[in-house]
Amino acid sequence: MKRAVLCGYYGMGNGGDEALLATLLQMLPPTVEPIVLSKTPTLTARRYQVEAVDRWNLLAIMGAFRRADVFIWGGGSLVQDVSSQISPLYYLGLMQLAQLMGLQTIAWAQGIGPLHSQLNRRLTRGVLRKCIAVSVRDQGSADLLTGWGITHTLAPDPVWAMETNSAVRSVQPDLAVAVNLRQHRTLTPERLAVLTQALIEFQQTSRAKMLLVPFQMSLDLDLGLALQQQLPGSELVQLEDPEDLRMLFDRVDLAIVMRLHGLIMAAAAGCRCFALSYDPKVTQVATTLGLPLSELGTLPTDATYFVQAWQDLALAQGLSRDQRQKLTHQAQQHQTLLATALAG
């Protein structure tokens, strides 16, 4: 039995990163015992029935490394210096420490970059070259690694293949709409006012049941509460378990979302999706899938534009079963990579 330390943005209250952890745990070979680095190790241990240690406790991390054989960067945009200069140093430092202590290392389902710092680029290239396996989830990351001469697997985000207890999409008598907004500098008060007015008019014209779905309470909850006051009869849905969050979209017809994994979960459930993009990773997924989107940086100022777009979308179809099965199959390449790298 091997032990693997799993490192990601875990235990931080972000539904998308928890979905990545849940999927990684599902994809690990049964011969591998996980040890998860988490901000909230007690909660993580209880939710996933795994060993977990405090991601900020260096002594605990060193102890986990001494008992482990493998270190895995577990999905997401861990190595980028746009939102934080410190964050990539944390993840790169742990990867380097693991390699110095003799652990095999795997970069799994990563979104590498943007990396503006030459130091971060050099460190990233150095640790990835020492990995026994690397997989990425987007073409930009793949192009970067190709330029560095690093062998890798490119596959869709693994959350496409997350297993749940959900069976068949439930049929609702009325139009059910999931809405996810998050705080971000591109969602200015003026743009938020346009979107709020559009949601009000859309609810009135379509008689939709509005479900307000925060993915990370620290950034999404206040916006959800504010929208709830403006949308009579709307429901604020607070779900912490990633499988529950994914299954929510099985009873939703239309999803209007900012977050990447909100978009992926909704599309994987067969919802019709409208992306509000604050980040190139959201734009890339929406564009690849042919989903309608608006860039928040250049958001239309007329609420009527969105009302019409959402009304049209409500009459359209989501991704076909064949499309979703193809994406699920492709995303399972991340599992194949783990099985191959961890064999023996």
Q: Which domains does the chain have, with CATH numbers?
A: 2-154 (3.40.50.2000), 176-323 (3.40.50.2000)
Q: CB neighbours (10 Å) of residue 245? A: 25
- The span from the CA of 80 to the CA of 84, in Å, is 8
**Distances in Å between the alpha carbon of 271 and those of 254, 300, 317?**
5, 24, 8
C-beta separation of 181 from 223 below 8 A: yes
What is residue 81's predicted lDDT score, i.e. its pLDDT? Answer: 84
Angstrom distance (rounded) from CA 192 to CA 296: 10
Count CB neighbours of 273 within 10 A: 28
Per-residue pLDDT of the chain (344 residues; tens, 9 = 90+): 999 999 999 999 999 999 999 999 999 999 999 999 999 999 999 999 999 999 999 999 999 999 999 999 999 999 988 877 788 999 999 999 999 999 999 999 999 988 988 999 999 999 999 999 999 999 999 999 999 999 999 999 999 999 988 655 555 658 999 999 999 999 999 999 999 999 999 999 999 999 999 999 999 999 999 999 999 999 999 999 999 999 999 999 999 999 999 999 999 999 999 999 999 999 999 999 999 999 999 999 999 999 999 999 999 999 999 999 999 999 999 999 999 999 96
Q: Is the N-terminal amide bond of 300 cis, ω within 30° of 0?
A: no
Identify the three-state secondary structure at position 295: strand
Note the pTM of the prediction, 2 decimals: 0.95
**DSSP 8-state symbol, 31:** T
Q: How far apart are CA 203 and CA 192, in angstroms?
A: 16
Phi, psi (degrees; rounded to nearest 5) at 278: -110, 0
From the list 158, 119, 168, 118, the residue with the least C-alpha distance to 138 is 158
